Amino acid sequence: MIDSCGRMRWKLPEPMRLALEEAEAARRRGEVPVGATVSDGEGRILASAGNRTLELKDPTAHAELLAIRAAASLIGSERLTGCDLYVTLEPCAMCAAAISFARIRRLYFGAEDEKMGAVDHGGRFFAQASCHHAPEVYGGIGGEAARKLLKDFFRERR
């Protein structure tokens, strides 16, 4: 798609669009605006979630973990082999470990996280010899919109 200025614009995949909607809903709840969606091998949405750490008083209630838990419950297996995860922010080490344990096929993320990210930054979890399963990783999908949500959220907090 070409925008009014003649620049190429790509249409976001539906799972990432939904993850961005979950991030926006998290922002409205006062949570850090991160959203995640799990889809199956056919592209059908299995689960989506936004951060709920404050609401649930649970430091592990990251969007990725909530979406992975819901998808695993739906299919009745701890393994999400053949499933893809779309998340608006580069996963942290905790979420990267869960992605590996769940055997997610592909990880698509939006904004990079230079402080807490563990995929392209920090410990680079999937590159470690101790990592038993590494998904295919694609960064920058919806990154501009995800970065804007995060920047606006933290600007409002200051």
Could you give the residue numbers annotated as active site?
A: 64
Contacts of 153 (CB under 8 A, 6+ apart): 27, 32, 33
Task: Tell me how far apart the alpha carbons of residues 36 and 133 are, in angstroms, rounded to a whole number.
Answer: 20
Bridging pattern class, strands 106-111 and 45-50: unpaired
Q: How many CB atoms lie within 10 A of CB 97?
A: 16
For the beta sheet containing 45-50, the strands, ordered from the edge strand earlier in sequence to the opposite edge, are: 45-50, 35-39, 84-89, 106-111, 136-139
